[in-house]
Protein backbone atom coordinates (compact mmCIF):
# COMPACT_ATOMS: atom_id res chain seq x y z
CA UNK A 1 0.00 0.00 0.00
CA UNK A 2 1.39 3.44 -0.92
CA UNK A 3 1.05 6.68 1.03
CA UNK A 4 -1.50 7.89 -1.48
CA UNK A 5 -3.70 4.83 -0.79
CA UNK A 6 -4.07 5.69 2.92
CA UNK A 7 -6.92 8.01 3.84
CA UNK A 8 -6.65 9.07 7.48
CA UNK A 9 -9.52 10.18 9.70
CA UNK A 10 -9.68 13.83 10.85
CA UNK A 11 -8.17 12.91 14.23
CA UNK A 12 -5.37 10.96 12.52
CA UNK A 13 -4.68 13.88 10.23
CA UNK A 14 -4.35 16.19 13.30
CA UNK A 15 -2.04 13.75 15.05
CA UNK A 16 0.16 13.27 12.00
CA UNK A 17 0.70 16.97 11.25
CA UNK A 18 3.99 18.68 12.19
CA UNK A 19 4.03 21.13 15.13
CA UNK A 20 3.76 24.17 12.95
CA UNK A 21 0.63 22.79 11.21
CA UNK A 22 -1.46 21.69 14.22
CA UNK A 23 -5.06 22.64 13.80
CA UNK A 24 -6.04 25.39 16.22
CA UNK A 25 -9.26 23.44 16.86
CA UNK A 26 -7.29 20.39 18.06
CA UNK A 27 -8.48 19.49 21.57
CA UNK A 28 -7.58 17.01 24.28
CA UNK A 29 -10.67 14.99 23.47
CA UNK A 30 -9.18 14.20 20.07
CA UNK A 31 -6.79 11.94 22.02
CA UNK A 32 -8.64 10.91 25.19
CA UNK A 33 -12.23 10.22 25.98
CA UNK A 34 -14.07 11.93 28.86
CA UNK A 35 -13.94 8.76 30.89
CA UNK A 36 -10.19 8.40 30.38
CA UNK A 37 -9.66 12.04 31.41
CA UNK A 38 -11.76 11.50 34.53
CA UNK A 39 -9.78 8.40 35.49
CA UNK A 40 -6.51 10.31 35.06
CA UNK A 41 -7.81 13.17 37.21
CA UNK A 42 -8.65 10.74 40.02
CA UNK A 43 -5.24 9.10 39.87
CA UNK A 44 -3.43 12.45 39.83
CA UNK A 45 -5.49 13.61 42.83
CA UNK A 46 -4.33 10.56 44.76
CA UNK A 47 -0.77 11.09 43.64
CA UNK A 48 -0.72 14.81 44.55
CA UNK A 49 -2.77 14.31 47.71
CA UNK A 50 -5.05 17.13 46.58
CA UNK A 51 -7.63 17.78 43.94
CA UNK A 52 -6.49 17.80 40.34
CA UNK A 53 -8.48 18.98 37.36
CA UNK A 54 -7.60 18.70 33.70
CA UNK A 55 -9.12 21.46 31.53
CA UNK A 56 -8.97 21.61 27.75
CA UNK A 57 -6.91 24.54 26.48
CA UNK A 58 -9.87 26.04 24.65
CA UNK A 59 -11.94 25.97 27.85
CA UNK A 60 -9.22 27.37 30.13
CA UNK A 61 -10.08 30.60 31.92
CA UNK A 62 -7.33 33.19 31.90
CA UNK A 63 -7.76 34.10 35.60
CA UNK A 64 -6.73 30.66 36.96
CA UNK A 65 -3.22 30.98 38.42
CA UNK A 66 -2.71 27.46 39.74
CA UNK A 67 -2.56 25.84 36.31
CA UNK A 68 0.20 23.97 34.58
CA UNK A 69 0.33 23.48 30.81
CA UNK A 70 0.08 20.01 29.29
CA UNK A 71 1.72 20.04 25.88
CA UNK A 72 1.39 17.86 22.83
CA UNK A 73 4.07 18.52 20.24
CA UNK A 74 5.14 21.66 22.22
CA UNK A 75 1.72 23.32 21.90
CA UNK A 76 -0.49 23.34 25.04
CA UNK A 77 -3.61 21.26 24.55
CA UNK A 78 -4.74 21.24 28.20
CA UNK A 79 -3.93 22.54 31.69
CA UNK A 80 -3.60 20.81 35.04
CA UNK A 81 -5.35 22.83 37.73
CA UNK A 82 -4.30 21.83 41.23
CA UNK A 83 -3.32 23.25 44.64
CA UNK A 84 -0.37 20.92 44.89
CA UNK A 85 3.13 22.25 45.24
CA UNK A 86 4.58 23.61 42.05
CA UNK A 87 7.26 20.95 41.64
CA UNK A 88 4.80 18.11 42.17
CA UNK A 89 2.24 19.74 39.86
CA UNK A 90 4.84 20.15 37.07
CA UNK A 91 5.92 16.55 37.49
CA UNK A 92 2.26 15.47 37.29
CA UNK A 93 1.80 17.60 34.15
CA UNK A 94 4.89 16.00 32.59
CA UNK A 95 3.54 12.59 33.53
CA UNK A 96 0.24 13.47 31.87
CA UNK A 97 2.14 14.59 28.75
CA UNK A 98 3.82 11.16 28.65
CA UNK A 99 0.44 9.49 28.94
CA UNK A 100 -0.87 11.81 26.24
CA UNK A 101 2.09 10.97 24.01
CA UNK A 102 1.52 7.24 24.43
CA UNK A 103 -2.21 7.69 23.84
CA UNK A 104 -1.49 9.61 20.63
CA UNK A 105 0.82 6.84 19.44
CA UNK A 106 -1.76 4.17 20.23
CA UNK A 107 -4.57 6.16 18.63
CA UNK A 108 -2.48 6.86 15.56
CA UNK A 109 -1.53 3.18 15.25
CA UNK A 110 -5.14 2.09 15.77
CA UNK A 111 -6.43 4.51 13.17
CA UNK A 112 -3.72 3.48 10.72
CA UNK A 113 -4.46 -0.22 11.35
CA UNK A 114 -8.16 0.39 10.85
CA UNK A 115 -7.47 2.18 7.59
CA UNK A 116 -5.22 -0.67 6.44
CA UNK A 117 -7.89 -3.23 7.37
CA UNK A 118 -10.50 -1.26 5.45
CA UNK A 119 -8.19 -1.00 2.47
CA UNK A 120 -7.43 -4.72 2.65
CA UNK A 121 -11.14 -5.43 2.87
CA UNK A 122 -11.75 -3.29 -0.21
CA UNK A 123 -8.96 -5.15 -1.99
CA UNK A 124 -10.46 -8.48 -0.97
CA UNK A 125 -13.87 -7.33 -2.17
CA UNK A 126 -12.34 -6.35 -5.50
CA UNK A 127 -10.51 -9.67 -5.79
CA UNK A 128 -13.67 -11.53 -4.81
CA UNK A 129 -15.59 -9.74 -7.53
CA UNK A 130 -12.91 -10.60 -10.06
CA UNK A 131 -12.96 -14.22 -8.89
CA UNK A 132 -16.73 -14.34 -9.28
CA UNK A 133 -16.40 -12.94 -12.80
CA UNK A 134 -13.65 -15.46 -13.58
CA UNK A 135 -15.74 -18.28 -12.14
CA UNK A 136 -18.66 -17.25 -14.33
CA UNK A 137 -16.38 -17.23 -17.37
CA UNK A 138 -14.89 -20.63 -16.49
CA UNK A 139 -18.36 -22.03 -15.87
CA UNK A 140 -19.43 -20.84 -19.30
CA UNK A 141 -16.26 -22.30 -20.82
CA UNK A 142 -16.91 -25.58 -18.98
CA UNK A 143 -20.42 -25.75 -20.44
CA UNK A 144 -19.05 -25.05 -23.92
CA UNK A 145 -16.30 -27.64 -23.43
CA UNK A 146 -18.78 -30.25 -22.25
CA UNK A 147 -20.94 -29.55 -25.27
CA UNK A 148 -17.94 -29.94 -27.57
CA UNK A 149 -16.89 -33.14 -25.82
CA UNK A 150 -20.38 -34.56 -26.27
CA UNK A 151 -20.25 -33.64 -29.94
CA UNK A 152 -16.84 -35.31 -30.29
CA UNK A 153 -18.03 -38.42 -28.45
CA UNK A 154 -21.01 -38.56 -30.77
CA UNK A 155 -18.70 -38.27 -33.77
CA UNK A 156 -16.42 -41.00 -32.39
CA UNK A 157 -19.37 -43.32 -31.77
CA UNK A 158 -20.64 -42.59 -35.27
CA UNK A 159 -17.22 -43.33 -36.77
CA UNK A 160 -16.97 -46.51 -34.70
CA UNK A 161 -20.33 -47.70 -35.99
CA UNK A 162 -19.22 -46.84 -39.51
CA UNK A 163 -16.00 -48.81 -39.01
CA UNK A 164 -17.95 -51.82 -37.77
CA UNK A 165 -20.30 -51.58 -40.71
CA UNK A 166 -17.36 -51.21 -43.09
CA UNK A 167 -15.77 -54.34 -41.64
CA UNK A 168 -19.05 -56.19 -41.93
CA UNK A 169 -19.48 -55.07 -45.54
CA UNK A 170 -15.89 -56.11 -46.25
CA UNK A 171 -16.59 -59.57 -44.88
CA UNK A 172 -19.88 -59.74 -46.77
CA UNK A 173 -18.10 -58.76 -49.99
CA UNK A 174 -15.79 -61.75 -49.60
CA UNK A 175 -18.75 -63.91 -48.70
CA UNK A 176 -20.62 -62.74 -51.75
CA UNK A 177 -18.77 -64.69 -54.42
CA UNK A 178 -18.74 -67.92 -52.41
CA UNK A 179 -22.38 -67.65 -51.34
CA UNK A 180 -23.43 -66.83 -54.90
CA UNK A 181 -21.55 -69.95 -56.06
CA UNK A 182 -23.13 -72.05 -53.32
CA UNK A 183 -26.61 -70.82 -54.22
CA UNK A 184 -26.11 -70.99 -57.98
CA UNK A 185 -25.10 -74.66 -57.86
CA UNK A 186 -28.35 -75.94 -56.32
CA UNK A 187 -30.39 -73.41 -58.27
CA UNK A 188 -28.77 -74.68 -61.45
CA UNK A 189 -29.67 -78.33 -60.95
CA UNK A 190 -33.07 -77.35 -59.48
CA UNK A 191 -33.84 -75.54 -62.73
CA UNK A 192 -32.51 -78.45 -64.78
CA UNK A 193 -34.55 -80.93 -62.75
CA UNK A 194 -37.69 -78.82 -63.10
CA UNK A 195 -37.24 -78.68 -66.87
CA UNK A 196 -36.76 -82.46 -66.99
CA UNK A 197 -39.73 -82.91 -64.67
CA UNK A 198 -41.82 -80.74 -66.92
CA UNK A 199 -40.87 -82.93 -69.89
CA UNK A 200 -41.68 -86.09 -67.89
CA UNK A 201 -45.06 -84.68 -66.88
CA UNK A 202 -45.85 -83.99 -70.51
CA UNK A 203 -45.03 -87.61 -71.39
CA UNK A 204 -47.15 -88.87 -68.51
CA UNK A 205 -50.02 -86.66 -69.69
CA UNK A 206 -49.72 -88.09 -73.22
CA UNK A 207 -49.69 -91.62 -71.77
CA UNK A 208 -52.82 -90.90 -69.74
CA UNK A 209 -54.50 -89.53 -72.88
CA UNK A 210 -53.58 -92.69 -74.80
CA UNK A 211 -55.05 -94.87 -72.05
CA UNK A 212 -58.26 -92.85 -72.12
CA UNK A 213 -58.45 -93.50 -75.87
CA UNK A 214 -58.48 -97.24 -75.13
CA UNK A 215 -54.92 -98.20 -75.91
CA UNK A 216 -53.43 -101.18 -74.11
CA UNK A 217 -51.72 -100.20 -70.85
CA UNK A 218 -48.76 -102.47 -71.51
CA UNK A 219 -48.20 -100.93 -74.92
CA UNK A 220 -48.57 -97.40 -73.54
CA UNK A 221 -46.13 -98.14 -70.70
CA UNK A 222 -43.57 -99.55 -73.11
CA UNK A 223 -44.13 -96.76 -75.62
CA UNK A 224 -43.61 -93.94 -73.11
CA UNK A 225 -41.15 -95.89 -70.86
CA UNK A 226 -43.24 -94.95 -67.82
CA UNK A 227 -41.19 -97.05 -65.39
CA UNK A 228 -38.05 -95.01 -66.10
CA UNK A 229 -39.96 -91.71 -66.23
CA UNK A 230 -41.60 -92.21 -62.84
CA UNK A 231 -38.39 -93.48 -61.21
CA UNK A 232 -36.28 -90.63 -62.59
CA UNK A 233 -38.98 -88.08 -61.70
CA UNK A 234 -38.85 -89.23 -58.08
CA UNK A 235 -35.06 -88.90 -58.09
CA UNK A 236 -35.31 -85.41 -59.60
CA UNK A 237 -37.84 -84.33 -56.94
CA UNK A 238 -35.61 -85.62 -54.15
CA UNK A 239 -32.62 -83.75 -55.56
CA UNK A 240 -34.74 -80.63 -55.94
CA UNK A 241 -35.96 -80.82 -52.34
CA UNK A 242 -32.34 -81.28 -51.15
CA UNK A 243 -31.25 -78.30 -53.25
CA UNK A 244 -34.01 -76.10 -51.82
CA UNK A 245 -33.00 -77.16 -48.29
CA UNK A 246 -29.39 -76.27 -49.12
CA UNK A 247 -30.37 -72.81 -50.34
CA UNK A 248 -32.60 -72.34 -47.29
CA UNK A 249 -29.71 -73.15 -44.98
CA UNK A 250 -27.37 -70.75 -46.78
CA UNK A 251 -29.94 -67.96 -46.54
CA UNK A 252 -30.59 -68.74 -42.86
CA UNK A 253 -26.91 -68.74 -41.96
CA UNK A 254 -26.29 -65.57 -43.95
CA UNK A 255 -29.27 -63.91 -42.28
CA UNK A 256 -27.85 -64.73 -38.84
CA UNK A 257 -24.47 -63.36 -39.92
CA UNK A 258 -25.74 -59.94 -41.03
CA UNK A 259 -28.29 -59.66 -38.21
CA UNK A 260 -31.28 -59.35 -40.50
CA UNK A 261 -33.71 -60.12 -37.71
CA UNK A 262 -32.36 -58.06 -34.82
CA UNK A 263 -29.14 -56.70 -33.36
CA UNK A 264 -30.38 -57.05 -29.76
CA UNK A 265 -28.72 -59.56 -27.46
CA UNK A 266 -30.36 -62.94 -27.34
CA UNK A 267 -29.63 -66.47 -26.19
CA UNK A 268 -27.54 -68.32 -28.78
CA UNK A 269 -25.68 -71.62 -28.97
CA UNK A 270 -22.03 -71.10 -29.84
CA UNK A 271 -21.59 -74.51 -31.48
CA UNK A 272 -24.47 -73.73 -33.85
CA UNK A 273 -22.97 -70.36 -34.73
CA UNK A 274 -19.61 -71.96 -35.51
CA UNK A 275 -21.33 -74.62 -37.59
CA UNK A 276 -23.05 -71.92 -39.67
CA UNK A 277 -19.84 -69.92 -40.09
CA UNK A 278 -17.93 -73.00 -41.24
CA UNK A 279 -20.70 -73.79 -43.69
CA UNK A 280 -20.67 -70.24 -45.09
CA UNK A 281 -16.87 -70.26 -45.42
CA UNK A 282 -16.89 -73.53 -47.37
CA UNK A 283 -16.67 -71.81 -50.79
CA UNK A 284 -13.50 -69.99 -49.66
CA UNK A 285 -11.76 -73.25 -48.83
CA UNK A 286 -12.03 -74.51 -52.40
CA UNK A 287 -10.27 -77.88 -52.49
CA UNK A 288 -6.90 -76.81 -51.10
CA UNK A 289 -7.86 -76.35 -47.43
CA UNK A 290 -9.16 -79.09 -45.16
CA UNK A 291 -11.54 -77.80 -42.49
CA UNK A 292 -12.05 -79.94 -39.38
CA UNK A 293 -14.75 -79.20 -36.80
CA UNK A 294 -14.79 -80.42 -33.21
CA UNK A 295 -17.91 -78.72 -31.89
CA UNK A 296 -19.28 -80.01 -28.59
CA UNK A 297 -22.70 -78.85 -27.46
CA UNK A 298 -22.42 -75.93 -25.04
CA UNK A 299 -24.75 -73.89 -22.87
CA UNK A 300 -26.59 -70.91 -24.38
CA UNK A 301 -25.19 -67.45 -23.70
CA UNK A 302 -26.55 -63.93 -24.15
CA UNK A 303 -24.91 -62.04 -27.01
CA UNK A 304 -25.40 -59.94 -30.09
CA UNK A 305 -25.52 -62.77 -32.60
CA UNK A 306 -24.74 -60.68 -35.68
CA UNK A 307 -21.70 -59.01 -34.05
CA UNK A 308 -20.23 -62.28 -32.75
CA UNK A 309 -20.78 -63.95 -36.13
CA UNK A 310 -18.92 -61.05 -37.74
CA UNK A 311 -15.96 -61.44 -35.34
CA UNK A 312 -15.69 -65.22 -35.65
CA UNK A 313 -16.03 -65.15 -39.43
CA UNK A 314 -13.27 -62.51 -39.68
CA UNK A 315 -10.95 -64.70 -37.59
CA UNK A 316 -11.74 -67.75 -39.72
CA UNK A 317 -11.21 -65.66 -42.86
CA UNK A 318 -7.77 -64.62 -41.56
CA UNK A 319 -6.94 -68.30 -41.08
CA UNK A 320 -7.97 -69.05 -44.67
CA UNK A 321 -5.95 -66.15 -46.07
CA UNK A 322 -2.85 -67.18 -44.11
CA UNK A 323 -2.68 -70.44 -46.08
CA UNK A 324 -1.05 -69.79 -49.46
CA UNK A 325 -1.26 -73.24 -51.03
CA UNK A 326 -2.67 -76.23 -49.18
CA UNK A 327 -3.25 -76.52 -45.48
CA UNK A 328 -5.58 -77.33 -42.63
CA UNK A 329 -7.89 -75.40 -40.32
CA UNK A 330 -9.26 -76.77 -37.05
CA UNK A 331 -12.27 -75.21 -35.31
CA UNK A 332 -12.95 -76.43 -31.76
CA UNK A 333 -15.60 -75.52 -29.20
CA UNK A 334 -16.18 -76.88 -25.69
CA UNK A 335 -17.41 -75.80 -22.27
CA UNK A 336 -15.58 -76.03 -18.96
CA UNK A 337 -16.15 -74.39 -15.55
CA UNK A 338 -18.99 -72.20 -16.86
CA UNK A 339 -16.81 -70.83 -19.66
CA UNK A 340 -16.97 -71.55 -23.38
CA UNK A 341 -13.64 -72.05 -25.14
CA UNK A 342 -13.19 -71.57 -28.90
CA UNK A 343 -10.02 -72.39 -30.81
CA UNK A 344 -9.41 -71.55 -34.46
CA UNK A 345 -6.10 -73.02 -35.54
CA UNK A 346 -4.48 -72.92 -38.99
CA UNK A 347 -1.33 -74.26 -40.63
CA UNK A 348 -0.62 -71.00 -42.42
CA UNK A 349 2.41 -68.73 -42.58
CA UNK A 350 2.24 -67.60 -38.93
CA UNK A 351 3.53 -64.32 -37.47
CA UNK A 352 6.73 -63.17 -35.81
CA UNK A 353 6.86 -61.48 -32.39
CA UNK A 354 6.93 -57.96 -33.83
CA UNK A 355 3.87 -58.53 -36.00
CA UNK A 356 2.09 -60.35 -33.17
CA UNK A 357 2.55 -57.31 -30.93
CA UNK A 358 0.74 -55.04 -33.40
CA UNK A 359 -2.20 -57.17 -34.52
CA UNK A 360 -4.70 -55.11 -32.48
CA UNK A 361 -3.42 -51.74 -33.69
CA UNK A 362 -6.04 -49.94 -35.83
CA UNK A 363 -5.20 -49.91 -39.54
CA UNK A 364 -2.22 -52.26 -39.13
CA UNK A 365 -2.29 -55.04 -41.71
CA UNK A 366 0.14 -57.51 -43.24
CA UNK A 367 -1.94 -57.82 -46.38
CA UNK A 368 -1.03 -56.06 -49.65
CA UNK A 369 -2.28 -52.51 -50.17
CA UNK A 370 -5.97 -52.55 -51.01
CA UNK A 371 -6.49 -56.08 -49.69
CA UNK A 372 -7.47 -55.16 -46.13
CA UNK A 373 -8.46 -52.26 -43.90
CA UNK A 374 -6.37 -53.31 -40.92
CA UNK A 375 -9.42 -53.13 -38.65
CA UNK A 376 -10.36 -56.82 -38.59
CA UNK A 377 -8.78 -57.99 -35.32
CA UNK A 378 -9.33 -54.59 -33.69
CA UNK A 379 -13.05 -54.88 -34.28
CA UNK A 380 -13.05 -58.57 -33.31
CA UNK A 381 -11.36 -57.80 -29.99
CA UNK A 382 -13.83 -54.98 -29.24
CA UNK A 383 -16.81 -57.23 -30.00
CA UNK A 384 -15.46 -60.08 -27.86
CA UNK A 385 -14.62 -57.77 -24.94
CA UNK A 386 -18.08 -56.21 -25.18
CA UNK A 387 -19.41 -59.70 -24.36
CA UNK A 388 -17.05 -60.06 -21.37
CA UNK A 389 -14.86 -62.39 -23.39
CA UNK A 390 -11.12 -62.59 -24.01
CA UNK A 391 -9.03 -63.27 -27.10
CA UNK A 392 -5.43 -64.49 -27.35
CA UNK A 393 -3.33 -65.19 -30.44
CA UNK A 394 -0.43 -67.66 -30.41
CA UNK A 395 1.72 -67.81 -33.52
CA UNK A 396 5.16 -68.72 -34.83
CA UNK A 397 6.55 -67.95 -38.31
CA UNK A 398 6.01 -70.94 -40.57
CA UNK A 399 4.06 -72.86 -37.92
CA UNK A 400 0.63 -71.31 -38.28
CA UNK A 401 -1.51 -69.44 -35.76
CA UNK A 402 -3.95 -70.31 -33.02
CA UNK A 403 -6.68 -67.95 -31.82
CA UNK A 404 -8.07 -68.74 -28.37
CA UNK A 405 -11.37 -67.15 -27.36
CA UNK A 406 -13.23 -67.47 -24.07
CA UNK A 407 -16.78 -66.43 -23.19
CA UNK A 408 -18.46 -66.67 -19.78
CA UNK A 409 -21.73 -68.59 -19.67
CA UNK A 410 -24.25 -65.84 -18.93
CA UNK A 411 -27.88 -66.58 -18.22
CA UNK A 412 -28.74 -62.90 -18.55
CA UNK A 413 -27.56 -59.99 -20.65
CA UNK A 414 -24.14 -58.80 -19.45
CA UNK A 415 -23.64 -55.11 -18.64
CA UNK A 416 -22.61 -52.79 -21.44
CA UNK A 417 -18.90 -51.91 -21.64
CA UNK A 418 -17.47 -48.61 -22.77
Q: Of 53-57, 126-130, 209-213, which range is least confident? A: 209-213
* pLDDT, position 160: 64
The answer to whether the pTM exceeds 0.75 is: no
- 5 CB contacts (<8 Å, ≥6 apart)? 119
C-alpha distances out from residue 402 to 204, 217, 344, 405, Å: 59, 68, 6, 10
- Residue 372 is predicted with a pLDDT of 46
Confidence class for position 294, pLDDT limits 50, 70, 90: very high
For residue 343, name the pLDDT band (cuts at 50, 70, 90): very high
* Last residue within a domain, chosen from 98, 132, 166: 132
What is the count of structural domains for the chain?
Answer: 2
Last residue of a domain, one of 78, 110, 132: 132
Q: Is residue 141 part of a domain?
A: no
| Max avg pLDDT among 15-24, 99-108, 224-233, 318-327 | 318-327
CATH of the domain at 323: 3.30.565.10
Residue 191 covered by a domain: no
Whether 159 maps to a domain, the answer reads: no
pLDDT band at 402 (very low <50, low <70, confident <90, very high): very high
Among 11-25, 128-142, 198-212, 218-232, the minimum mean pLDDT is found in 11-25
C-alpha distances (whole Å) from 44 to each of 74, 75, 92, 369, 384 are 22, 22, 7, 111, 100
Domain presence at residue 248: no
pLDDT at 22: 43
Residue count (the chain): 418
pLDDT at residue 298 in the model = 92
Q: What is the pLDDT of residue 256?
A: 60
Which segment of 8-17, 62-71, 279-288, 354-363 scores lowest on mean pLDDT?
8-17
Q: Are 298 and 335 in contact (CB under 8 A)?
A: yes
Single residue among 132, 159, 194 that ends a domain in this structure = 132
Burial-class residue 148 by CB neighbours within 10 Å (0-12, 13-18, 19+).
exposed
Asked whether residue 178 is domain-assigned, the answer is no
Question: Any alpha helices (H) in 322-418, and if so which ranges?
Answer: 353-356, 376-386
* Enclosing domain of residue 103: 3-132
What is the Cα–Cα distance from 62 to 84, expressed in whole angstroms? Answer: 19
Q: Which of 91, 84, 100, 85 is nearest to 40 (CA)?
A: 100
Q: Do 11 and 107 touch, CB atoms closer than 8 A?
A: yes
In a domain, residue 252? The reply is no
Q: Tell me whether residue 386 is in a domain.
A: yes
CB atoms within 10 A of CB 12: 20
- DSSP alpha helix (H) spans, 8-64: 10-16, 34-48
158 located within any domain = no
Amino acid sequence: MTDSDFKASPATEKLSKPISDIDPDFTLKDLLSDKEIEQLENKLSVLLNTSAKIIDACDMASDINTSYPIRYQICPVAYLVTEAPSESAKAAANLFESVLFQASRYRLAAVAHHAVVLQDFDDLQTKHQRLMESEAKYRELAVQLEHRVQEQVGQIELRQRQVYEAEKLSALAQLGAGVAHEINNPLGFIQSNMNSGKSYLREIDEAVTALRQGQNITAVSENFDLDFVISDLQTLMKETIDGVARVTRIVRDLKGFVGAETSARQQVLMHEILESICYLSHPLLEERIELTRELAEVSPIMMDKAAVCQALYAILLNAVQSIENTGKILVRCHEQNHRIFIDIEDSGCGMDTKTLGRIYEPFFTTKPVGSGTGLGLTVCRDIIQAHQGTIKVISQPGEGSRVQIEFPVTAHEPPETN
